[in-house]
Amino acid sequence: MPVQTILQYPDPLLKRVCDPVAPLHDGISGLIQDLLDTMRAGPGSVGVAAPQIGVTQRVCVVDVSGNRLGLDSNHGLLIMVNPEIIMREGAATMREGCMSIPDYTGDVERSTDITVHFRDAEGTLREIETSGFEAVAIQHEMDHLDGILFLDRITSLKTGLFRRKKYK
């Protein structure tokens, strides 16, 4: 499947709450492949959510295994259909970026440890516990499914938003 164009803020689709999907409905495998191809093509991308490519369904992909921040603790490639966080603990602030807001990064407070359950690409129900960078990446992508951007979670618009010098 081809790499899809990433919608840019302030596109209104980025602010829509996505609809749940039947895990094995027609077209879900094509959507998943589009998300994977788009994530892999994005500079420094560790995840992408369906609304970022104009599809308002609750599907996202995350893979932090190739990022230095995720090397030591990750579950590899995660394809998540209808993900839901069922437990959150801790809090830490981390700098985040987003392909839908390519010119800025920002300091965002997120839970440090989460448990999430979701259906995978085959429709199997999975539950994982994760922490650190992978937990942050999952929360970021799941926010997209609820129409929330990292800009909505910046700790301080005055001191927590930064112009990106170079997109990596």
Return the CATH number at 131. Answer: 3.90.45.10
In terms of residues, how long is the chain?
A: 168
Is the CB of residue 134 less than 8 Å from the CB of residue 68? no
Host domain of residue 104: 12-163
User: Within 10 Å of residue 78's Cβ, how many Cβ atoms?
Assistant: 24
Per-residue pLDDT tens for 1-35?
Answer: 689 999 999 999 999 999 999 867 778 999 999 99
- Is there a domain that residue 6 lies in? no
Q: Which of 84, 89, 127, 141 is catalytic?
A: 141
- Is there a domain that residue 2 lies in? no
- Is there a domain that residue 7 lies in? no
Residue 166 CB-density burial (10 A; 0-12 exposed, 13-18 middle, 19+ buried): exposed
- Is there a domain that residue 143 lies in? yes
pLDDT value, residue 19:
97
What amino acid is encoded at 43 in this protein?
P
- Is there a domain that residue 127 lies in? yes
Instruction: Name the domain count of the chain.
Output: 1
Stretches in the chain below the pLDDT threshold 50: none
**C-alpha distances out from residue 134 to 27, 32, 65, 91, Å:** 27, 19, 9, 14
pLDDT value, residue 2:
86
122 is catalytic: no
First vs last Cα of the chain: how many Å apart?
24
Tokens found for residue 102: 């390519």
pLDDT value, residue 23:
62
pLDDT value, residue 26:
73
**C-alpha distances out from residue 10 to 31, 52, 142, 147, 148, Å:** 23, 11, 18, 12, 12
- Is there a domain that residue 3 lies in? no
Phi/psi zone of residue 57: left (φ > 0), alpha (ψ -120 to 50 degrees), beta?
beta
pTM of the model: 0.95
